[in-house]
Chains A and B, each alone.
Chain A
Amino acid sequence: SDEFLEVLPTGSLADAQVGTKDGIEGLLIGTYSALNGVFGNRFEGPNHWVTGSIMGGEANKGTDAGDYSSINPIQRYEIDPTSGDINQLWLGRFEGVSRANAVLAALANATDVTAEDAARIGGEARMLRAHFYFDLKKHFNSVPVFDETVEAVDVVTVPNTTEVYPQIEADLQFAYDNLPSTTDAGRVNKWAAAALMGKAKLYQNKFAEAKTWFDDVIANGVTPSGEKYALLDNYAAIFNAEFDNNAEAIFDVESANDTGSTQNANYFDDLNYPYNTGPDGPGNCCGFFQPSISLGNSFRTSAGLPLLDDSFNDPANQVADNFTFSQIDGGDEAAFVEDAGPLDPRIDHSIGRKGIPYLDWPGVDGVHPGSAWIRSFPYAGPYSPKKYVYYQSQENSLTDGSSWTRGYALMNYTIIRYADVLLMAAEAEIEAGTLDKALEYVNLVRARAAKAEFWVKDADGTDAANYDIAEYTSFPDKAYATAAVRFERKLELSGEGHAFFDLVRWGIAADYLNSYLAFEGSKLVTKFGGASFTAGKSEYYPIPQTQIDIQGSDVLTQNPGY
């Protein structure tokens, strides 16, 4: 009989169940869950360690040539539209869009949600949707734009030809208007929406509007717990799980252990640790995401200020590194002597260097041992990642140790932090002609970095290197100010996934990255020899071929050059 042939599904919910207030709250949490990706591919991570940092010249893949070799052509700007990783990034972000739309569609039909709840839920969903779209826009430039009112069958026919920012701005405006200031620590509030709006304006070079939004954030912004936005005193604390949801965190991705899945910890960074450290260092694996030699050199200071004339890669200014010493100049690595010249102290919060203490890890004799922690020294160079790395004291308490590697850390990745807002605001001020205000913002950031009590110390309590940092005394002109702000972003935000997108929006990606490749390629010959950035093409990632195959080339137009 028909009754016998109706077997209802188990372990899942039907439309009616998720259409209630509680169900919609669950859908909203599901949307937050998409912030750090859905499918477990490391390219879906919110920190864009490949597409933002490596591609921005701050790091290279690390490890050896054969490991995760599909990244090799990407870091050489030879990316192919069939790249599975890029497709995963696309899938992860559009899954986020789809989940936000499911919340909004359910909200429109719900009968048991109060107006107040509806405003908050709708605001959160639209803020998240704006974030996912912003990410898509930064990577792919041309993406299909649709909202919750477009039926599922019609979504696949939306071409990638419409402008993306109007919907992003509308969503963020709605979020700003409807979200509360204080809420659960894991949720977005109205100030997160405001900061993201300012960033979206900046990406469109709408500097005046951007300034308005940043001014509001700087003047009035508070964290979900009601704390006024501020820079932490200790730069390293930003990347320490112990201080999650701090006053500097404006929009971040929550991370937790004991959740039944390491995907709720920072799974996207699980490879990004020194290699073969055993229990004397963090992670288990795999030696990826090695900071570039060029980034190391960028921390050289002169009179406490960075070398804004880009002379940091000149032989005289290069930071002594054990790779150049042994691999290029033929020295015995054991005889390597650390650089004695003046350095921005943030270098040793950002880069794992031989001879410098590595957080609280024993290392070898208390310091990073150099090539012993590098998987393929000739291939990938001298440095280890250091920023989003957990401490020995946090093992299994602020990490998730339940899977194959120990490298699931719990510090929240900060999509927007207050220092970032200050530096973006400085750009807007420069365009407005208020160089003094820009100077003030930049110096705020530098002053924090200059707090000597938080510099990396050797075991004897002395500074681990010759740190020398000063505030700018003035910005004599717009060009100087622009160079200073851009350089400050590199020093302050390196390894946080912003660099590539900054270079593209500033319109200097081809020049900057080709000169980076020339320098880095002279050191890491196997990795970068012959690579180049193609202006007019490499600024954006290709639309995944898989998606064009599915939707048709009449719907999805490939980006130029691919």
Chain B
Amino acid sequence: NPETSLTKFELANAVQSTVTGTVTDATGAPLPGANVLVKGTTNGTQTDFDGNFTIEAASDATLIFSYLGFQTQEVAVNGQSTVNATMAEDAAALDEVIVTGYATETKRETTAAVSIVKAEELAAIPSGNIEQQLQGRVAGVTVLTNGQVGSSSQIRVRGFGAFGGNEPLYIVDGVPTSNTDFINPADVESTSILKDAAAASIYGARAANGVVVFTTKQGSRSNRKTRMTIDISGGVSDPNVGGAPEQLNPQEMAEWTHRAYENNAAATGTAVQYSHPQYGTNATPRFPDYLHADGQNGVFEADVDLAQIRANYEADPANVFLIRPNLAGTNWFKEITRIAPVSRVSLGFDGGNESGRYYMGISAQNQAGILLNNDFARYTARFNSEWDIAPWLSIGENFQVTYRSVVGGFGGEGGIGGADDESVILSAYRMPTIIPVRDEFGSFASTRASGFNNPRNPVRQLTLNDQDDTGYNIGGFGNLYLLLKPIDGLTLRSSLGGGYNNSHFVNYGFRYLGDSEPQASNSFSEGSNYSFNWTFTNTFTYEKLFGKHKVKLFGGVEALNTGAGRFINGNGINPFSTDLDFQSLSVVQSPNVNSGQFKGVNFSSTFGKLDYNFDERYYLTGVIRRDGSSRFGGNNRYGTFPAASAAWRVISEPFMQDQDFMSDLKFRAGWGQMGNSNNVDPNNQYSLFASNRGRTFYPIGGQNSGADEGFAQSRIGNPDAKWETSTTINVGLDAAFFNDKLEFQIDWWKKDTEDLLYNVPLAGVTGNFAAAPSVNIASMANSGLDILVAGRGNFTEDFSYDVTVTAGFLKNEITALAPGIDFFDGRGYRGIQATRNAVGQPISTFFGYNVIGYFNSQAEVDSSPAQDGKGLGRFRYEDVNGDGAITPDDRTFLGSAVPDVTGGSTINLRYKNIEMEMFWFYSIGNELFNQSKWFTDFFGTFEGSAKGRAAFNSWTPELGNNAAAPIWESASNLSTSGAGNSWYVEKGDYLRLQRLAFTYSFDDNIIDKMGISKLKIGFSANNIWTLTKYSGLDPGIGGGADTNFGIDVGNYPVSPSYLFNLQIGL
């Protein structure tokens, strides 16, 4: 027995005696389960339920007390037989705990690349979804969120492993989930991000995109009164109207319209025609008294019979408009936005006794978006508890219910896709400034007035169509678990968890005849769905110290379903009355109801992990997981994912003991494989036929109403598909200097995804209605460097600082697609193809013609290579292949939406009771495709709609290649607005001051008198300053699809907000 011999060895060197004591927290409550260790030995024990311990220690020994969430404390025995310890709670120490979902370990022990985010950082800003707070806090994690309240985020951990489905796996209290929007950030105790295989492989098949583990708060097993914390935040978001791109004012727009007519005439060698219906036929434009007067356009007082028009209006108010020009100019962005209030109130209760503990949290958050009628609300209640039934048996539960409501949002995937939608924000760019918000009768005014093309009054859209809409989701999420400790060192855990969701929406649309493309019908739609998912996990942990050899063996089995349920929704038009109390699917015309069911995906898994360390110097970890999934056919249903990692804690070596320069030094290295199948349809293995009302139905009887059901092949199956496998290598270094005053954490990593599931484009001849199967054919490489540098210390006794800087470098490259296929293109907008995904390039690389200038003279036009539509002042493209003609083959790669490096910096300064926190975020080395310029910077794109100030710098012979846009004219062709090119591509680098906060903590003696334990007030300003050269509203542009992101068609901007915060502890 090696333990015996080691003990003997130690006995020979010191006089041993029995030491007893009690470990309590600051309130005097005993801390059961605290660790007590004789320093410099492996001799240790844990306190019992009363916080008492007994240990053999030498009379000159030092005892080390440690407990999760408390500062580690060393107490010298000094020959005494009783040693008590009072532990101080410490947030910093908390950070050292890594919760992997199945187990916890300390940062000291880990061999993997794991990042932790402090609870208070997550709770700081009342964002809609908790994951938004991860932006810039963790090296190697990119988070892109637009400013829509309640919108989801595009989160990527260490690059893009696949062409889709790159979302990380979320674990909340041990239960996997695909989204975390139900969580109240104030309820979260800790967040761990498992970045490499060594950390994440325990989640095997679903881990390839990283794992984000949230653990919610819990009470403590101590006899003390229940604590209560109150956290109140309130404030406003400012739409930052002054920062929005400016449009031409009415006078400028009229002049530049005439300028365009002159340029048109010059280009074609014809006489100038000043033909705009509002500005008159002379070279100098004039304004009419009425843009529109009941069918007449561009008319003067003398031309209209106002009495008749008023009579007509009274007879048919929806169809008669009288619109005066707003010569001062309407600021449409200002009109669609507002100062938006936000408030969040969270109450937390925690407590416990020696045999149980609990936490209860309730919260209410109400947040208005800067856009009219875009509102978010979330009400949550959480109850966590754990009870000891016997010394060897505990049961517990975590349970949350959430009501969540988002109205007025746009964009797919919970709003992520909003950047590339033609939204109301784009409408505000496109609506001419001369049109007032309302006409003389108080109706909304719009492009019924001729000459302004087809933009829609966005105030009307937001007001009429959004204000009565409802949409909410009610869900429960949680788990029930059992902890068994049958013998010393062995813990068995059984957990049954899951979530239930129910949602419902009502959407009204109202008839409006004032647009040039009017909404002719009232419309109504309504729908709901439910889904239920579950996870059943059974694990064991066996931990034992054999002298200096510590072994921890962990294993388990898990079965889960990702969510099954049904949905039903319907729509229809023109109910008899538009009274909200009247409308339902029962009273609309042409009702169209759809419903369906889904069964989710089943997983069945077995996994194990072995941790070994020798003397806390040498660490070895091995992980293996085998997953089976219903996504795949019998041939390849199971995947096995191994990982191995090691660490050398140099700081524990004897030769490091006699120095105080370094306080930590650890090298880590790991290799492993992880899987991903998010991007695969659950039916991928099946060949199926289906019906589709639009695409397979036909009125075979020749009827004019209703169609007969038909079928067509809807899916071609691939029974051979299998997991995507990401193989990662991670080499890391943790170092700390000067007693932890300076810390480094550096990880170099490489992630190669093989057998990437790719929907090989089907040849048109095979029929393209059927969905192509995912085939394991492509590959992608990601590599990068994650750096975290932290420094802390005191300037004076009262003045301390704490600075953290993170940087995540990323290189992404598609290394193979299908045989014979070198690329596939992203979606195009308005005929502009922006992105191409090509072998040898990063995902979503911008692609098109390279603009080398403008045609500055007729001689240049004549002498340059053949180019469709070439002409004076138009784009001159590079003849990339040098064949003397500009053809599609001359398109080239123009930049990447993937940043080279992203990161953040947190700066905390504390002076006495005052704390200042600053958080900066930066993103460097990416480009953006500013497609909103397509609408605003060419006269000829929807001629007549509002144009931007690019007009002032549009091409003239004098400006030449310094022009900001091509010549101001109507033509639209390959050489102007008809092709994607480098002119749209802009630098996307930015630096943003995301948070500047001041907090004042009242002195203990004051709050004691008030009978409370904590009182803090704070003020924060968020997103107040951005440094960027990007000309759009906001450089933080995600997108719905990874193969087509970074395209800005009127993104919802992140806007400044100012918040007041009050924290009270009772």
Contact = CB atoms under 8 A, between A and B. Distances in A.
Interface string A372-388: 10011111000000000
Contacts of B699: 186, 254-256, 259, 264
Interface in A100-153: 102, 144, 146, 152
A279 B518 contact: yes
B71 interface: no
A18 B711 contact: yes
B450 A10 contact: no
Contacts of A210: none
B705 A257 contact: yes
A259 B592 CA distance: 8
B447 interface: yes
A273 to B, nearest CB: 10
A378 B264 contact: yes
B978 interface: yes
Residue among B572, B597, B695 with the highest chain A CB neighbour number at 10 A: B695
A30 B941 CA distance: 38
A187 B854 CA distance: 56
A535 to B, nearest CB: 18
A404 B523 CA distance: 10
B243 interface: no
Contacts of B600: 7
Contact of B683 (A9, A262, A402): A9
A94 B909 CA distance: 68
Contacts of B708: 29
Interface residues of A, number: 118
Interface size class of B (residues with CB under 8 A): 35 or more
B630 interface: yes
A17 B763 CA distance: 26
Contact of B273 (A261, A378, A549): A378
A30 B447 CA distance: 41
A406 B520 contact: yes
B770 to A, nearest CB: 8
Secondary structure at the B interface, as helix, strand, loop or mixed, is loop
Nearest to A146: B765
A402 B970 contact: no
A275 B450 CA distance: 10
Interface in A265-318: 275-276, 278-280, 284-286
A156 B766 contact: yes
Nearest to A70: B831
Contact of B264 (A261, A412, A526, A544): A526
A357 interface: no
Given A64-B942, A184-B702, A278 B597 contact: no
A246 to B, nearest CB: 11
B203 to A, nearest CB: 18
A29 B264 contact: no
Nearest to A402: B590
A298 B473 CA distance: 62
Given A286-B517, A401-B521, A185 B702 contact: yes
Contacts of B713: 98-99, 102
A67 to B, nearest CB: 6
Given A254-B702, A402-B590, A261 B766 contact: no
A255 B704 contact: yes
B830 interface: yes
A1 B970 contact: no
Given A5-B628, A65-B940, A551-B763, A278 B448 contact: yes
B767 interface: yes
A33 B710 contact: yes
B978 A257 contact: no
Contacts of A70: 831, 978
B518 A278 contact: yes
Given A244-B704, A257-B590, A156 B597 contact: no
Interface in A173-199: 184-187
Nearest to A406: B520
Given A4-B602, A12-B683, A95 B768 contact: yes
Contact of A286 (B454, B716, B821): B454
Contacts of A32: 698, 700, 710
A335 interface: no
B700 A284 contact: no
Chain A interface main SS type: loop
Nearest to A245: B702
Given A5-B629, A12-B688, A529-B268, A372 B702 contact: no
Contacts of A69: 830-831, 941, 972-973, 977-978
B697 A98 contact: no
A7 B698 contact: no
B598 interface: yes
Contacts of B767: 94-95, 97-99, 102
B704 A64 contact: no
B444 to A, nearest CB: 14
Which of B571, B940, B941 has the most C-beta atoms of chain A within 10 angstroms of its own C-beta? B940
Given A186-B701, A258-B705, A401 B574 contact: yes
Interface stretch (A79-87, A434-442, A472-480): A79-87
A15 interface: yes
A9 B686 CA distance: 8
A167 to B, nearest CB: 14
A552 interface: yes
A72 B688 contact: no
A379 B689 contact: no
B270, B273, B766 pick with most chain A CB within 10 angstroms? B766
A161 B573 CA distance: 50
B604 A66 contact: no
B598 A13 contact: no
B912 interface: no
Interface in B692-748: 692-716
A279 to B, nearest CB: 6
A13 B695 contact: no
A241 to B, nearest CB: 6
A129 to B, nearest CB: 12
A298 to B, nearest CB: 25
Nearest to B760: A550
Contacts of A15: 687, 689
A456 B256 CA distance: 42
B756 to A, nearest CB: 18
Given A31-B710, A94-B765, A241-B704, A378 B831 contact: no
Nearest to B707: A259
A276 B447 contact: yes
Contacts of B295: 280, 364
A433 interface: no
Interface in B630-645: 630, 634, 637
Between B598, B688, B761, the greatest number of chain A beta carbons within 10 A of the residue's beta carbon is seen for: B688
A32 B594 CA distance: 23
A39 to B, nearest CB: 7
A102 B602 contact: no
B461 interface: no
Nearest to B452: A276
Contacts of B392: none
Contacts of B763: 155-156, 547, 550-551
B553 interface: no
B710 A65 contact: no
B275 interface: yes
Contact of B973 (A7, A73, A187, A261): A73
A14 B970 contact: no
Given A78-B868, A410-B704, A551 B765 contact: yes
B1064 interface: no
Given A5-B630, A184-B701, A185-B702, A91 B768 contact: yes
Report the 10 A-B pairs with minimum CB-CB distance, sorted nearest first.
Answer: A185-B702, A98-B767, A29-B710, A261-B694, A66-B941, A263-B694, A30-B710, A65-B972, A260-B693, A70-B831
9 contacts: A2-B634, A5-B630, A18-B689, A30-B696, A39-B769, A66-B830, A69-B831, A80-B887, A262-B694
Given A30-B691, A256-B704, A264-B699, 7 more contacts: A12-B714, A84-B828, A95-B712, A186-B702, A278-B518, A401-B521, A526-B268
